[in-house]
Amino acid sequence: MHVVILAEFASASGGAEKVALESARGLAESGVDVTYIQGITGPVDDLLDHARIRRVELGLPDIWSLGAARAAAAGIWHAAAAARLAAALDGLARRPDCVHLHQWTRSLSPAVFPVLYRPGAPVAVTLHDYFLACPNGVYYRFDRGEPCALRPLSAACLAAPCDARSRAHKLVRVARTAVLSRVLAGRPLHAVHVCDASRRRMGDLLGGYRLTHHRIDNPVRAADGPPAAPASGDAVAYVGRLTREKGADLVAEAARAAGLPALFIGDGPLADDLRARPGVAVIGWQKPEAVWEILRRRARALAAPSRWYETGPLTVYEALAAGIPVVASERSGAAEKVRHGQTGFVVAPEVGPLAEAFAALRDDGRAAALGAAAREWFRRAPMDLATHAAALRTFYEGMGFRSDAVQHAARTLGPAAPPIGMP
């Protein structure tokens, strides 16, 4: 089997890149040949150092480094990205059995989607976010601080000032989404969902596409070392970007109400505000091994109170695997892996319910029991690299039984014409 994995980065600067890298490594270790195509020039993770992995770099810039006008044009239709990807796929020594896309908004644009069908293999995309349907990618109203309830590209959607940056930025993203819907029209696409909630929600939002939906858990690499001892922890921990949509401010307020310190590992727009609060420590980004050493020593629980419909936050799963109770937002895909009252708590992303959950964890016996149950749950139903790779192989082999029909459809459709006004 030969699989092409396409992502924009070759280092784990975020959850989507981490999944792409670990998928490549897990597949290679299971005997699959992998061609890993990275869009943006940058660091290369050691996970790609394997005899069965061939890496191809397209040498593209991050479009937001190009200046506003050029970035807007490239974000909507990046002809150079399409040309370089076409050359890379044409240069493959062996036809792939699947082309699997993980990221496309930072360097590739909708222009690459017709090119993905060039080898004549089935095309899959893992939905780490909502960009396939929603212009701002997170199906969240930044102007209101709440999840969106509008149909993407409807009149109400177009009028909503929901983007995190500006109305101008929203217009560019609307144009990009409209172009994407045109280039994908009629093309068969396998959509891989990382949580059940995403599958239900996106299934409703993507009715105009020719999709086959699949459900595969993200891989979880359990940190090396002994299990955590949450009863010894002194703080509620948060790991990730410090933003309102991810609920960082809620952690600080609820921890204070529960009489516990709050520890933030990460950075973002709320960093200065959080540092100024009593009982809060913000220590910035740390290397993965340092993160888990800190969490094992200090975390009584990991909090993930997202206000947006987050799909599959890896840190939550890694915490459960390490034996750390999790307090998760009921809106997050992570809530599907937390057994309420047994391995943590699933609550509304509001100060009151969060504070109640944090207060319950002040009891040493409760914290220890939840942590032990979390680790045991992971051992019984592992989401490790081998399990993930096996699920992917089954997925790819299943598509292979339909490959003749998919290839015929791709040949019939041929390469899409560029959108009107695009090169």
pLDDT confidence of 99, banded at 50, 70, 90?
Answer: very high
Spatial separation of the C-alpha atoms in residues 335 and 354, rounded to whole Å? 14
Rounded distance between C-alpha atoms, residue 49 and residue 47, angstroms: 5
Whether the Cβ atoms of residue 299 and residue 263 lie closer than 8 Å to each other: yes
**How far is residue 361's CA from residue 109's CA, in Å, rounded to a whole number?**
45
Token reading at 275: 């540092």
pTM score: 0.90
| Residue 126 φ/ψ, nearest 5 degrees | -85, 130
Residues 239-269: pLDDT tens digits?
999 999 999 999 999 999 999 999 999 999 9
Q: How many residues does the chain have?
A: 423
Show the tokens assigned to 202: 């996106």
261, 326 contact by CB (below 8 A): no
Q: Which fold has domain 230-380?
A: Rossmann fold (3.40.50)
Task: With cut-offs at 50, 70 and 90, classify the pLDDT of residue 204.
Answer: confident
Region at 246 (left for phi over 0; alpha for psi -120 to 50; beta for the rest): alpha
- Taking each helix axis from N to C end, the angle separating 15-29 and 314-322, rounded to the nearest 10 degrees, works out to 60
Q: Sketch the domain layout of the chain as residue ranges.
A: 2-219+385-413, 230-380
> Shortest CA distance to 327 belongs to which of 339, 318, 311, 310?
339
Please check the confidence at residue 404 and state whether its pLDDT lies above 80: no
Helical (H) or strand (E) element with 376 = helix 364-380
Q: Compute the half-sphere exposure of residue 82: CA atoms within 13 Å on the CB side of its CA.
A: 22
Task: Report, at the CATH architecture level, how domain 2-219+385-413 is classified.
Answer: 3-Layer(aba) Sandwich (3.40)
pLDDT in tens, 143-194: 999 999 999 999 999 999 999 999 999 999 999 999 999 999 999 999 999 9
pLDDT of residue 312 exceeding 90:
no
Beta bridge partners of 53: 34
Which amino acid, one-letter code, is at 68?
A
Q: What is the reported pLDDT for 390?
A: 96
Equal CATH topology for 2-219+385-413 and 230-380: yes
